[in-house]
Amino acid sequence: MERKIRVGVIGTGAIAQIAELPSLASIPEVEISAILSGHYENAVMAAARYGAKTAVHDLQEFLNQNLDCAFLLTPKTVRKEFLLPLLDAGLHVFCEKPLAMTLKECDHLANLSAKSRQIIMVGFNRRFAPVYQRGIAAFEGEKPDYVFAGKCREFKEYRGTLENAIHMLDLLRWFCGECVRVEAQARFTNPFYEDLCTAQLSFENGSIGLLGASRHAGQWIERVEMYGGGKSVIIDSPEGYRVIYPDHEYQQHLTPLSKGCATAQDRMGFLPCVQHFIDCVKTGAKPLTNAEDAFKTHELMDRILRTAGLPDLSQQWD
């Protein structure tokens, strides 16, 4: 019988509970060996809920658990203090986005990953979501001429464009390739809690992308539209997409996934994203959203923030 992959998890907040912990618990070849949280009682509750072997008190106890890899799911502001010790311990690391709070740190981590045998994967789960995979598949390997990617929410948060719009920016890179020109605008009173940010992006192949992120929406809405090659693809995340041709239209609502009971892990791509990382740990393959590729998304985000007059990836609010 093949040995299970021993996984440690750092962080028990909302994203861990919604996405990675239930995904890990559902994968047969995984053993959740240790959970570390900012509050020990939260680690104990998560360990009981998801079948982990133990809850630990601190990072050193975590590193003593004979792990194969770690999931770093802490808030972005404290990620650095955990990530480097995990790499120093020789662990493969799955890191929630953003990879780091400064571009210099992102570059350093990408270089570490490129030079070592360790895997660093960033959780850009939208690339693994069924609606986005099927939407881009409709272009049959060609790049769309024009893509709009918008993610709008009903509340402001610290560095909201970096925190949330980075998912859509990563999709734009995945759909269109590398960006050669950025135009961007933002509206804000406090630039660390912006009201909105928009960007127009020109890509090497001639594609044009438009990024939109409002923090005054009625509710969370995530939508992508792609045009070109005689077709239009409209994606209403997380479940619906349409492919429109001059003489007919195809559409699908993805609730039949998992016998009509599709979870957020299925619909938003969290489970296949986590499974991809586990497969890469087993085989040594480079993940789709590896640190070197993720750095390109972070670098592009930095250009957008600078152009829009928002704090770039070297600035933090005290």
Q: What would the pLDDT profile of 53-75 be if each residue is shown by its tens digit?
A: 999 999 999 999 999 999 999 88
Determine how many CB atoms are found less than 10 A away from the CB of residue 27.
17
State whether 285 and 239 are in the same domain: no
State whether 181 and 32 are in the same domain: no
pLDDT at 261: 63
Confidence bin at 259 (pLDDT 50/70/90): low
Contacts 24+ apart (CB under 8 A), 250-253: 252/134
In a domain, 318, yes or no: no
Distance CA 187, CA 189 (A): 7
State whether 145 and 247 are in the same domain: yes
pLDDT at 84: 87
* Number of structural domains the chain divides into: 2
Q: Mean of the pLDDT values across residues 245-253?
A: 93
Residue 1 has pLDDT above 70, yes or no: no
In a domain, 240, yes or no: yes
State whether 153 and 302 are in the same domain: yes
Distance CA 154, CA 2 (A): 47
State whether 301 and 195 are in the same domain: yes
pLDDT at 2: 76
Angle, to 10 degrees, between the axis of helix 103-115 and the axis of helix 80-88? 10
- How confident is the model over 145-204, as pLDDT tens digits? 999 999 999 999 989 999 889 999 999 999 999 999 999 999 999 999 999 999 999 999
State whether 220 and 251 are in the same domain: yes
- CATH number of the domain enclosing 11: 3.40.50.720
- CATH number of the domain enclosing 185: 3.30.360.10
pLDDT at 39: 95
State whether 164 and 145 are in the same domain: yes
State whether 285 and 185 are in the same domain: no
State whether 17 and 85 are in the same domain: yes
Confidence bin at 318 (pLDDT 50/70/90): low
Phi, psi of 241 (to 5 degrees): -150, 150
Of the ranges 54-58, 109-113, 314-318, the best mean pLDDT one: 54-58
Q: Which residue has the tokens 């008190």?
A: 57
Residue 80 has pLDDT above 90, yes or no: no
Residue 269 Cα distances to 11, 23, 72, 130, 273, angstroms:
20, 10, 18, 7, 6
State whether 130 and 116 are in the same domain: no
Confidence bin at 237 (pLDDT 50/70/90): very high
State whether 169 and 303 are in the same domain: yes
State whether 61 and 94 are in the same domain: yes
In a domain, 314, yes or no: no
Q: Give the closest residue to 171 by CA, choosing from 120, 212, 215.
A: 212
* Parent domain of 58: 5-124+274-290
pTM over 0.75: yes
